[in-house]
Structure 1
């Protein structure tokens, strides 16, 4: 058992309160440690697992009764929790209708790149406010910069990942731009998977 451990009783709490409480506890650890969150529904278990993944933490689940799960989130280093991030936590479900967002640039539209950067930031933030989230977001070419350290959209993308949105970034693109070690949210993917996701989507949206 970790010497640095916090226990959160979130039984009876409606979504997203278990995630909010766990995020705050992770931030309070200030370094490596564990947060054990006690919940009474599977939705909370799934959302806590997604949040752990988005923060680079391990997650383990133990069911101790018919309606009682202990979810242990383990951090190997200090977890950065941005101001306002816990309150912004969401439990909106990813869309079941196969919506895929295709992001090929770190700017939205053609014309002024400075304006385009503001527009893409606004677009990604607006996604976090939707009642139904996209299933997958694909980032390639210049869009790969948005999932890396220093991105103005990083916290919004982490919130989307915590809510279950699949965030995938082209590995070849990361390598081309020298960003392989800078990926900060989601997973690295390849052209086969990108092609599979696009051709299997019900709707493809390209901002």
Structure 2
């Protein structure tokens, strides 16, 4: 008989909903379902993205104000789909991860710092070897949103297979959730995973 596990992640901050969901899924014996309750759309996005990456069947719905339900169904999928190859020049990517946590580069003049960071991102587009992933969090989250001066360069990097990820909790904190213009939303679990597994981390 298929198992059913219910996970209450209401009020849990990122990345707890994803962590709890993974734990519950690992406890399933064969076919089964895991229902996760969360209280915000960012958590829903993080959970559904995990399902897509793992090849799980899933559904998501809003039950009421600040209450969402994500249902994972396992046992009906033969295997997780293979990861898609980068759209362009896949061999140009390295195992380097760039972490951007502010809208400026270095200390001193804020105006100069913004100019330097924009120049840094442009310089990345000109490299023979591209980073595998660029992470944006805290003050850096705004750089992937509407109005950012570096959107064109970031979109160019994404088109070449560079993964652009922005912290969902940070977008929510700064009121930018609906303004993300490049890349996708991620959570602290994935950020920690990317940083710890990277062959090289660059923090401008």
TM-score, normalised with respect to structure 1: 0.56
- 1:189 is aligned to 186
CA contact (8 A) 1:94 1:165 kept: no
Say yes or no: does 1:149 pair with 2:146: yes
Number of residue pairs the alignment of both structures matches: 121
Asked whether the equivalents of residues 94 and 135 of structure 1 are also in contact (C-alpha less than 8 Å), the reply is no
Q: Partner of 2:93 in structure 1? A: 95
Q: Secondary structure at the match of 1:181?
A: helix
Relative to structure 1, the CA distance from residue 113 to residue 178 in structure 2 (aligned partners, 3 Å threshold; closer, same or farther) is: same
Whole-angstrom distance in 2 between the partners of 1:182 and 1:171:
12
1:93 deviates by: 3.9
Q: Alpha carbon RMSD of aligned pairs, Å?
A: 1.7
Structure-2 change in CA distance of 1:180 and 1:136 (3 Å):
same
Deviations 1:141-199 (A, max 9, x none): 00001100000000000000000000000000000111000000000000000000000
Name the SS of the counterpart of 2:128 in structure 1.
Answer: coil
Aligned partner of 1:127 among 120, 124, 128: 124
Aligned equivalents of 2:167 and 2:113: distance in 1? 21
Give the counterpart of 2:104 among 81, 94, 107. 107
How far, CA to CA, are the matches of 1:186 and 1:133 in structure 2?
16
Displacement of 1:95 after TM fit? Answer: 2.3
Q: Indicate conservation of the 8 Å contact 2:92/2:128, yes or no.
A: no
Q: 1:140 aligns with which of 137, 142, 149?
A: 137
Tell me whether 1:204 sits opposite 2:201 in the alignment: yes
Q: Which residue of 2 aligns with 1:165?
A: 162
List alignment gaps of at least 5 residues for structure 2: 1-83
Q: Residue 92 of structure 1 contacts residue 131 of structure 1 at CA under 8 Å; is this kept in 2? A: no
Cα gap change, 1:177 to 1:166, in 2 (>3 Å): same
- Paired residue for 2:32? none
Is the Cα contact below 8 Å between 1:92 and 1:132 reproduced in 2? Answer: no
Q: Which runs of 5+ in 1 are unaligned?
A: 1-44, 51-89
| Alignment partners' CA distance in 2, 1:93 and 1:108 | 28
The TM-score, its normalising length taken from structure 2, stands at: 0.57
- Between structure 1 and structure 2, the one with the greater Rg is 2
Separation (CA, whole Å) in 2 of partners of 1:110 and 1:129: 25
Distance in 2, Cα, partners of 1:116 & 1:179:
22
